[in-house]
Structure 1
Amino acid sequence: MADIIQLLPDHVANQIAAGEVVQRPASVVKELVENAVDAGATEIRLIVKDAGKTLIQVVDNGAGMTATDARLSFERHATSKIRSAEDLFSLGTKGFRGEALASIAAIAHVEMNTRPHDDEVGTRICMEGGKLTSQEVTVTAAGTSVAVKNLFFNIPARRNFLKSNQVELRHVIDEFQRVSLAHPDIQFAMYHNGNDLFTLPSSNYRQRVVNIFGSRTNEKLVPVSENTEVLKLSGFVYKPEHARKSRGEQFFFVNNRFIKSPYLHHAVVAAFEGLIREQTHPGYFLYLEIDPKSVDVNIHPTKTEIKFDDEHTLYAILRSAIKHSLGQFNIAPLLDFEKDTGLDTPYGYKDRPASAPTIEVDADFNPFRDEEGEAGIPVSPGSFSTGGGKPGNTWGRTARKEDPSGWESLYIGLGDDDEASGNFSSVEIESDEVGGTSMPGQQLFDHRQGELPSVTTYQLHRKYIVTTIKSGMVIIDQHRAHQRVLYERFLRQMTVKEGISQQLLFPIVLHYSPSDMALLSELKGSMEFIGFAIDPFRGEEITITGIPSGVSESEVSIILEQLIADFKDEIPDSSFSQTDRMAKSLGKTLAVRTGEVLNEAAQEALVNNLFACKEPGMSPFNRPTYITITVEDLEKKFL
């Protein structure tokens, strides 16, 4: 039998290894920016074109590299961060694997210009598909500039799997924010297609958070601080009233490295228990300093997942520290049974002697004596009344009792005439009639002029609407059905650009971070087609002067928040058009929820509107909206 196992060629092995490190343009941004931080840079600039598909360039003023180091940096497992295996247990840097530049160079065109501060000239190296194309001496600024062009040019399958520019840019911004939040002492800047997205001067942690997420963030932050033998905790959490329905600003940093930890996240959520509404998530920026020997960061290629020696202790400290901060700053209610503030003595009364209270008794007061000398009208004991023209100064006077005779006259006429007495059992609510040509699904309701005209609809468990049809009954999921109705309505309005808008007497002003404002600017056109009237954007502020018909003012912020979250998280699928995705997001946000009570008129309207849709059987997310149960199915249950 011939041998079948053989070594892979170097270029194939490099491309396979690159798949672990470089998954999308954001992966390149992470590796290059972290290398700049490890190089001791105080200024880092990120330049991106077409969300990183065309160009990713990172320019820093760090230490720079010699010609030999620059060439060696593109070799696999070449690094300046560690020297032995023991160094893995006391890591103080970020990129220590030595695979970043090698993996990037294997799947892109890379140009590096670097110069140490002590040298007069630098080195320029060009790589293409993992092969060196040129190396020469050049004049360049001190530090390093790495430009990655045409990512995945030699792996078209991987390039085809990339999302839209909007989604990929969102991931690039996420990586940029994570590194910049961990190092507020470094000046960062980011540019996309020539536009300045972020300019972050050197500052402290709080100012860095505010610079990234907007000036309004400052009033939302509650500082958290705890110093123990196990860890040193610092950072901020959002006030409970600013909890969001989507997972927004949630950042953990361990030794200045961004991590993801569902276990520690649960500790934060537990600290907010009872303070935030259900289905909402708190925001936080928490920095943990732990002994590097008790942390293992070498378990994942992206190094965002780490292991701790004693997770239970970290959980307890994190939870208690956040609860303490919320209580210390009067965010959470406190109960102290050992002290009553009502018993506190003011400072001004410290040296004053106590005085006994005086009591005055009316010796002539007789509760059984007739008022004004008239008999037969006793004065009720202890009652208070103002009489005789003297306001409120007589204790024991009351008004006379009214004569109770003739009380039967109050009930004359009751029961004689139901219509006159207001019998509301026969009140009819006018509903919209659907006329014209037959609707999809209308054949289910052909019986309504026939044998069961009095049977309409009823709500089951505040979730389903049940109505009869000719062959049996229909059970409709009210949430999914309303999603379908709203989805087709918004889609039609955006398509014909005839959304009905109701003008607001007082405009609504909302504030968002720069990245959210960039996303809303792309959605502004579609939002106006469905009825939103939006003034030109100003910085971090958006002013809404009109809203779609049927939308309340209190729902506007919820709608925009859900829109931002859906487009950030690629929900719905980004393969659909922006119009379709927005219609789905709005339908999901505004649809009636499970648990909401619908009156008979609302139930009828929802049923009629559902079966007037083009596809009444499925929700916008391909879930069934109703099921039918025939009489034969019911009869089988009784066999």
Structure 2
Amino acid sequence: MSSIIQLLPDHVANQIAAGEVVQRPASVVKELLENAVDARATDIKLIIKDAGKSLVQVIDNGLGMSVTDARLCFERHATSKIRQAEDLFSLHTKGFRGEALASIAAIAHVEMKTKQDQQELGTHLVIEGSKFVSQEVAVLPKGTSFAVKNLFYNIPARRNFLKSDIVEFRHVVDEFQRVALAHPQIHFTFYHNGSEMYNLPPSNSRQRIVNFFAGKTNEKLVPIQEATEIVTIDGFVGKPEFAKKGRGEQFFFVNDRFIKSGYLHHAVMAAYDGILKEGAQPSYFIYLTVPPNTIDINIHPTKTEIKFDDEQALYAILRASIKHSLGQFNVAPVLDFDRDANLDTPYHYKDLDGATPTIQVDSNYNPFAEETPNPHYASAYRKPEVKSHWDGLYVGLKHDTAEVGTMTFENEEITSSLFNDSDIEQTVHKTYQIHKKYIVSPIKSGMVIVDQQRAHQRVLYEQFLTNMTVHQASSQQLLFPIHLFFSATEMELIADLQLSLVNTGFVFEETTEAYIVISGIPINSTESEVSIVLEQLLSDLQDGIPESSFSQNDTIAKSMAKSLAVKTGTYLTEKEQENLVNGLFACKDPNVSPFNKPTFITMRVEDLDKKFAV
């Protein structure tokens, strides 16, 4: 019987490994940037085309490679980072598996140019699908240049699974941010389709963060610093008033390596307990330095998750250091009594001396005397006159009660009804609000119970969708335009969405690379809600803007409806309740909210009768 198990060819094994290492163009960007950092480069350029699908090129001025190393680096499990198994627990570099370049070369066209400083000539290699096409000697500058073209050209199925250019570009930017923020001492430049996206000169951590996110980033950062035997903590956290709905500006770095940790994130949120609005997420850029032998970074294929030896102690130290910084910089609230500003001395009187009051006393005053001795005080201390014939006060009262409104109870007539017909009409309510959450409206067969938040979402959703379709949105002009600051990537999203936002009622007075100026807003929104609406919209579009216009408008309408809808716990007047119910049943699809949740239920009289049945 023939053998069933066979060894896979190298090119097939490389393609399988590529499925784990290379998921999208951003994966190639990550591997090449980390290799450039490990090569001790001080200047790194990232060049991509079509969000990395056509080209990902990384140029550095690092150590470079010899002719032998240039050929050997594309072999599987060939690495300069480790020598033995024990090195896995004392890592000081980024990559160490030795599969990245071999995997990339198996699914793309790769061109590498490299030269060491002490050599006169360098090496030029061309590889297509793991096959070496050419290897030549060339005149090159010091360092290495990797150009990865036509990613997944020989695996069409994988290429078809890639998202739109906007989505893939967003992932590339994320990887670029993570490497550049971890190494502020390196000069990074980033080009996309020939346009310069970022130019980050060597600087400190704070300046690198400001260069990335621009706007008012500098004034919202609170530094944190703590040094213990277990960990050294440096970095910055954001002030609570700058917290956003999304979790975009949250970074953990351990030994200059970006990681994700829900456990450490919980420690940060615990430090902000009580000073953040519900659902808000603070910004943080936290750099942790721990002994390499106390962590295991080989528990996840992308190395973004780390196992710590003493997680509980690290949690407590991180939480305490953030709390200390927030209190030290007067960000966290302090224990103090509330002061009433109305009790403060008015400005015009604060420097004046108070006048001493004078007291006048009549030493001859006798309350038991028949007459007041001093006529000056007579009016103040005159005893009331007593009517001798007190019953005369009520003479004729019986005939005048109809004219005296305040004493009609003396001559009240008994009627057959407690209320007049006009009073009944005034006291009948068409709707009732229950627990500031539901609106009850009677109908012929029983009653309708409406969820006020979901109902308002449906009303706003259809209004926004109609406005964006017919381009007839109404705006309310602001007396003072609003300046809103965003990061570079957020500004790109806003630029792509600007036309659709204008169709919903926004008026953009000015748009720059770092901020926008809004002079008009939709009629069903307020000035204080503008930043909330845009932040929620950017958070909902983190994975990219839909390509079709209808899907794009639909996403924007849903996001804005979610932000502007009346929330559970809001009191509504009777008129507001009626308008909301009438608006809901005037919609094309009143049964569900934009998120496919029921907006109302009906309860018949028969259902109520069953509840009372014995």
- TM above 0.5, yes or no, is yes
Distance 1:361-1:257 versus aligned 2 partners, 3 A rule: closer
Asked if 1:459 is matched to 2:451, the reply is no
Q: Distance in 2 between matches of 1:613 and 1:362?
A: 73
Q: Distance in 2 between matches of 1:127 and 1:562?
A: 45
Structure 2, unmatched stretches of 5+, are 338-355, 366-371, 388-392, 398-402, 410-420
| TM-superposition CA deviations, 1:549-570 (whole Å, max 9, x none) | 2221111111111111111145
In the alignment, which of 564, 580, 584 is matched to residue 590 of structure 1?
A: 564
* Match in the other structure for 1:343: none
Distance 1:198-1:414 versus aligned 2 partners, 3 A rule: farther
* Match in the other structure for 1:491: 465
- What letter corresponds to residue 145 of structure 1 in structure 2? S
In the alignment, which of 402, 413, 423 is matched to residue 405 of structure 2?
A: 413
Asked if 1:155 is matched to 2:147, the reply is no
Distance 1:275-1:571 versus aligned 2 partners, 3 A rule: farther
Q: 1:562-601 residue pairs with structure 2 within 5 A?
A: 562-569=536-543, 577-601=551-575
Q: Distance in 1 between matches of 2:508 and 2:425?
A: 42
* Match in the other structure for 2:250: 250
| Secondary structure in 1 matching 2:332 | coil
Asked if 1:534 is matched to 2:490, the reply is no
| TM-superposition CA deviations, 1:280-334 (whole Å, max 9, x none) | 1111111111001101111111111001000111111111111111111122234
| TM-superposition CA deviations, 1:175-217 (whole Å, max 9, x none) | 1111111100000111112221111000001111111111411
CA contact (8 A) 2:187 2:201 kept: yes
| Secondary structure in 2 matching 1:535 | strand
CA contact (8 A) 1:164 1:574 kept: no
Asked if 1:619 is matched to 2:590, the reply is no
| Secondary structure in 2 matching 1:473 | strand
* Match in the other structure for 2:527: 553
* Match in the other structure for 1:205: 205
* Match in the other structure for 1:225: 225
Q: 1:90-105 residue pairs with structure 2 within 5 A?
A: 90-105=90-105
CA contact (8 A) 2:364 2:373 kept: no
CA apart distance, 1:5: 3.8
Q: Distance in 2 between matches of 1:613 and 1:404?
A: 74
| TM-superposition CA deviations, 1:20-78 (whole Å, max 9, x none) | 11122211111111111000010111112221122111111111112221121111111
Q: 1:175-186 residue pairs with structure 2 within 5 A?
A: 175-186=175-186
- What letter corresponds to residue 68 of structure 1 in structure 2? T
CA apart distance, 1:619: 2.0
Structure 1 stretch displaced more, 97-106 or 197-206: 97-106
CA apart distance, 1:367: 8.3
* Match in the other structure for 2:481: 507
Q: 1:324-363 residue pairs with structure 2 within 5 A?
A: 324-335=324-335
Distance 1:633-1:571 versus aligned 2 partners, 3 A rule: farther
CA contact (8 A) 1:45 1:59 kept: yes
- What letter corresponds to residue 36 of structure 1 in structure 2? A
Distance 1:42-1:616 versus aligned 2 partners, 3 A rule: same
Q: Distance in 2 between matches of 1:636 and 1:336?
A: 56
- What letter corresponds to residue 298 of structure 1 in structure 2? N
CA contact (8 A) 2:449 2:601 kept: yes
CA apart distance, 1:378: 6.1
* Match in the other structure for 2:169: 169
Q: Distance in 1 between matches of 2:72 and 2:235?
A: 39
| Secondary structure in 1 matching 2:480 | strand
| TM-superposition CA deviations, 1:573-615 (whole Å, max 9, x none) | 9997222211111111111112222222222222222222222
CA contact (8 A) 1:371 1:377 kept: no
In the alignment, which of 373, 376, 379 is matched to residue 374 of structure 1?
A: 376
Q: Distance in 1 between matches of 2:363 and 2:55?
A: 97
Instruction: Count matched residues.
Output: 566
Q: Distance in 2 between matches of 1:586 and 1:231?
A: 43
CA contact (8 A) 1:109 1:151 kept: yes
| TM-superposition CA deviations, 1:363-405 (whole Å, max 9, x none) | 99568959976345669xxxxxxxxxxxxxxxxxxxx999999
- What letter corresponds to residue 483 of structure 1 in structure 2? Q
TM-score, normalised via structure 1 length: 0.82
Q: Distance in 1 between matches of 2:591 and 2:407?
A: 49
CA apart distance, 1:155: 2.4
Q: 1:64-75 residue pairs with structure 2 within 5 A?
A: 64-75=64-75
CA contact (8 A) 1:43 1:60 kept: yes
- What letter corresponds to residue 131 of structure 2 in structure 1? K
CA contact (8 A) 1:465 1:478 kept: yes
- What letter corresponds to residue 259 of structure 1 in structure 2? I
Q: Distance in 2 between matches of 1:576 and 1:57?
A: 35
Alpha-carbon RMSD? 3.3
* Match in the other structure for 2:312: 312
Q: 1:120-139 residue pairs with structure 2 within 5 A?
A: 120-139=120-139
- What letter corresponds to residue 227 of structure 2 in structure 1? N
- What letter corresponds to residue 296 of structure 2 in structure 1? D
Structure 1 stretch displaced more, 290-299 or 164-173: 164-173
Structure 1, unmatched stretches of 5+, are 338-359, 380-399, 418-422, 430-453
CA contact (8 A) 2:50 2:165 kept: yes
CA contact (8 A) 1:267 1:319 kept: yes
| TM-superposition CA deviations, 1:323-376 (whole Å, max 9, x none) | 111111122234599xxxxxxxxxxxxxxxxxxxxxx99999568959976345
CA contact (8 A) 2:510 2:518 kept: no
Asked if 1:142 is matched to 2:142, the reply is yes
CA contact (8 A) 2:111 2:148 kept: yes
CA contact (8 A) 1:566 1:572 kept: no
- What letter corresponds to residue 600 of structure 1 in structure 2? E
Distance 1:553-1:99 versus aligned 2 partners, 3 A rule: same
| Secondary structure in 1 matching 2:495 | helix
CA apart distance, 1:254: 0.7
Q: Distance in 2 between matches of 1:490 and 1:98?
A: 52
CA contact (8 A) 2:110 2:149 kept: yes
CA contact (8 A) 2:546 2:552 kept: no
| TM-superposition CA deviations, 1:484-540 (whole Å, max 9, x none) | 221121111111111112222211111111111111111111111111111242231
Q: Distance in 2 between matches of 1:361 and 1:622?
A: 72
CA contact (8 A) 1:11 1:130 kept: yes
* Match in the other structure for 1:437: none
Q: Distance in 1 between matches of 2:106 and 2:45?
A: 24
Q: Distance in 2 between matches of 1:502 and 1:365?
A: 65
* Match in the other structure for 2:456: 482
- What letter corresponds to residue 462 of structure 1 in structure 2? K
* Match in the other structure for 1:50: 50
Q: Distance in 2 between matches of 1:476 and 1:206?
A: 50
Q: Distance in 1 between matches of 2:357 and 2:466?
A: 81
| TM-superposition CA deviations, 1:397-422 (whole Å, max 9, x none) | xxx9999999x9xx9635879xxxxx
| Secondary structure in 2 matching 1:288 | strand
CA apart distance, 1:463: 2.1
Asked if 1:524 is matched to 2:480, the reply is no
CA contact (8 A) 1:572 1:585 kept: no
Q: Distance in 1 between matches of 2:229 and 2:469?
A: 62
Q: Distance in 2 between matches of 1:250 and 1:122?
A: 41
Q: Distance in 2 between matches of 1:21 and 1:2?
A: 34
